[in-house]
Structure formats: structure tokens, C-alpha cells
Chain A
């Protein structure tokens, strides 16, 4: 196996993810019947196209880009949540992703029960979850509340518990989607430290973020996505610089367009 020699953790080749908008969001029987009768052509769009990225163990890759660039879709494909429409995705190792904190949680269940439920969703064997239980409880730092139903938790507590579960499994590959900005400052420091620890443990990390400081400080590779295409891949400094430059250009363009339309550009677009 030639791939094994390269020692990559993730290899994405010519990846494309296509959405069929005809079947998107809350479509009804009535609408789809109307579509068939009116012979409306299928409405398709590529969330990602021609994306090729490789990542070795020990590397951490930052995925940056404006909203709607396809960053989260890329993570979803890597996590196995979404199937590629074209190209291939090769992931070597156990993947754990923080694509949303505490999403599998049930508010009626206690913290402990939610850890067991979360572990079951992740497909971990019971014994493994029981082994991990003390360290999860400790890291989440929610004290007595661990026996109380989740509905009594604050948003920060839930986020902490979610982070603790997802990172407790010691994954080979960690996927993170903008979750570092959760909880109080204290926990943010703690979670950053944990992510750095995982990166240092020669494990691969893919991080989607708007926090450019993080990118230059903790990632050794970065990729800039725009409208589903890779604009630049390389050293974090260069990619961040290009991203900031393009964002600035875009803002100016919008302001000019607004001025041309005779609008006062008080509300600066993001």
C-alpha cells in the first residue's frame, strides 16, 4: 500500500459535494408534486468542488474562508456525515469531531446518562465509556450537577460537557468547528490547552475558525476556501494574509456598490 508509506491521516482528492435544492429544507409533498407537474428542472449547486487536501499525522490544518464557503461541509465529509458526490476521501484513524457541542444530549437525562448516551452515539463500547467517565466528569468540571438533569445546566456547562466527551476519546483525528469560543475564559484556556495537547500527541487536527490568531499560532497549515473552491493552501501566515486582503477588497466593493446604489453604507457588511 503506497498510501501507508506516505503516512497521511487524511487525503481528500478532487472532492465535490453537490446539493440538490429540490430536496432541500422543508419541501412538501404538495411542492414536489407541483415540481413534477410543471417539469421544473432540478436545482443543483456545488457546496465544494475540486478540493484536494492532504494532511499528515501531527499536522493541524486550519480551514478559513467567508460564510458559506463550504468549510463546515468539508468537516462533515471528513467526519463521514456526508457522502461525497465526486472524488474520494480517505481518512486513516479514528475520527472525533466537535461539529456542534452537545447535540446528542437529552435535556431530561442527567450528565452521567448523557455521557453514556453520547458514548453510544459515538459507537464506543460500554466498558470504554465507563473507563473514560471519571476523566470526562473532571474535565467538564460541573461538580454536583453531574447527577442533575441537563435542563438545569447553563449553556456553558453543556458546551463543556460536550467538549469533554468529544475529546476524551483520544481520537487520531480531531475535527473542530468554531467551538473554541464557548464557555468562560477559564474553560477556553483549558480547551485550547487540550487541543494543543492533541496536536502535540502527533495527531491530526482540522479546525474551522474565524479566529485568525489561532490559525497563525497553532496551525502549521491552512487552506482558504471560497464558494466551495480552494483559493490557496499553504503556510498559515500567507493564507491568512490573503484571506484578510480578499475580505477587505470584498468589503470595499460592497461599499462602492452601496454608494453607487445611493445608499449610505453605515451598516458595514461583515
Chain B
């Protein structure tokens, strides 16, 4: 099934379209197909909720269980104890689960719809967009156990928590770009999923999730090679984790109470993410016309 929105459509083989045109087309497609994205997201929700034993409860339990695993693991191998360590890492696990789940699922978001793509002409960009947006719901459910942890630790229940949606918005832009990138690349390289899984795992351990950025900066390697230190600090998830942690947990030593995040670095990350998103949309749009042939 397919439909042309415009009454007349002329298609030629000459395909040299400028990146800016592609970008404009991509953005217009996403905005004009918001309803389709909404339907896809709600279909996704239904699927995840309905066919599991505990339904939505998994959204709540999953990050909590992961936190328990890391708390046990880190407490065993590390000599130095961070006060209120569960909350310390939960502030990072929650956004990371969102990012890694979306990036992992997004790799197959286009190839999964192989039949559809060969039968209907529609903007394929809606697929990774829907995947990323559906991830927001998982993140939102994760706020329930976070609220639970904060109630146990009511000192940290501050107005700073209102920063979470702002930080999440920055993360959304970055995640969306990543989802668009991997979903298109996976059409051409079907084993990308394997690589993505390993890259994500490495990325998580290299990001200051289980430890603070400050403790990373004390390492000798980083003191000797400032370039590595710069890269470590420029890692999007260093900025995001530090921001989430500052508003949820407070200072890295566990003494200071929650404080406002570093707005400047968040702003730079947002800008960079938009540029990255633009590049990824152009990349996707370049490959899109051949999806039906390759799938």
C-alpha cells in the first residue's frame, strides 16, 4: 500500500541531492508524520506490556536489579566506599539503560520492517524516531524506583530534580541521532548488532557511571596524557552522568547535597547533538532510496 501525498510525482534517476535538501526533507517527514510515530510508540508499549508475566513491573524492576548487581560487584572489588553508593550509580544506570536499550533496538528498527518497506512508500525515518520515543517511556518508569530510593534518603529530595527533564531532553537528541545512524547502517551490515553490543558495553565502563569523573581524573594515565582526560570529559555520557548525578545525588564525595548541573557543558552537548543529528539524518536519507533493494 502506498500513497502519494502530492497528486503528481515525477521520479528521475538523477540522484544528486544536496545534503541540506536531504536534511530539510528528513525533518519535514518526521514532523509531518508525528501521528504515525505516536501509533508506532503505542503499539510498542502494548507489545512490551502485554506479553510478559509482570507486564509494566519490569520497567521498574529492571534498573533496580541492575543496580543491585553493580552495588554487589563494586563493593566486592573496591576498597574505597562511596556513601549511598546505590543512589550514586542509579543516577547513571537509569539514563544509560534508556540509551543502550534504544541503540540496541534501533539497529533492527528498519530491517524488522523489511516487508513493509518493500510494500509501502513511507518515510523510513519514523522507525528510529518511534524507537527512541518509546524508550522515553521506559525511562519514565525508571523514575518510580528512583522516587523510592529518594524517599529513603529524603535529604536529597530537592527541587533540583526538576532538572531531570531538561537533561533528558539533551539526551533524547543525542540518542535519536545514534538510533538513526545505526538503523540505516544495519540495513547494509546485518551483523552491526553484535558490534553495537560490545561498543555499548565498553562505552558504559569508560563513562563515569560506576565512578565519578573526578576519580577518573586522578588516574596517572590521565594526568600524564591530558588528551585522554579531555576525551574522557568530552564523552557525552560523562557530561550527562555528571549532570544527572549532580541533581539526584549531589557532589561526588557524597557530602554535598544536590546542586544545579553544569549548564554550559549541557548546552554545548545539545549543540553538538543537533549537529550530529543533522549529519545522521542526511546519512539516513542518502541510503533510504536503496533500502527496498537491499532488504
B5 contacts chain A at the CB level, 8 A cutoff: yes
Residues of B within 8 A of A (CB): 1-5, 7-13, 15, 33, 35-36, 39-40, 43, 46-47, 50-51, 115-122, 188-192, 195, 289-290, 292-294
| A–B Cβ pairs within 8 angstroms, 13 of them | A23-B290, A26-B190, A81-B117, A81-B120, A83-B289, A84-B13, A88-B13, A90-B9, A97-B1, A103-B119, A108-B46, A121-B122, A165-B1
Listed residue (B5, B39, B47, B191) with the most chain A CB atoms within 10 angstroms of its CB: B39
B10 and chain A: residue at smallest CB distance: A90
Tell me, in angstroms, the Cα distance from A196 to B33 when the chains sit together: 33
* A121/B292 contact (C-beta < 8 A), A81-B121, A91-B9, A92-B7 known: no
Chain A: how many interface residues by the 8 Å CB criterion? 59
- B2 & A96 in contact (Cβ 8 Å cutoff): yes
- B39 & A79 in contact (Cβ 8 Å cutoff): no
Chain A neighbourhood of B46, CB < 8 A = 108-109
Q: Secondary structure of the A side of the interface?
A: mixed
Chain B neighbourhood of A169, CB < 8 A = 3
Chain A neighbourhood of B4, CB < 8 A = 80, 91, 93-95
B-contacting residues, A53-98, CB 8 Å: 76-77, 79-98
* A120/B39 contact (C-beta < 8 A), A76-B118, A92-B8 known: yes
- A27 & B190 in contact (Cβ 8 Å cutoff): yes
Tell me, in angstroms, the Cα distance from A23 to B10 when the chains sit together: 26
Tell me, in angstroms, the Cα distance from A107 to B124 when the chains sit together: 20
Listed residue (A30, A82, A98, A175) with the most chain B CB atoms within 10 angstroms of its CB: A82
B-contacting residues, A83-140, CB 8 Å: 83-100, 103-104, 106, 108-109, 113, 116-118, 120-124, 126
Tell me, in angstroms, the Cα distance from A88 to B12 when the chains sit together: 4
Chain A neighbourhood of B188, CB < 8 A = 23, 27, 32
* A100/B189 contact (C-beta < 8 A), A25-B294, A92-B8, A122-B3 known: no
Tell me, in angstroms, the Cα distance from A30 to B33 when the chains sit together: 36
- A82 & B292 in contact (Cβ 8 Å cutoff): yes
Contact of B2 among A19, A79, A93, A109 (CB under 8 A): A79
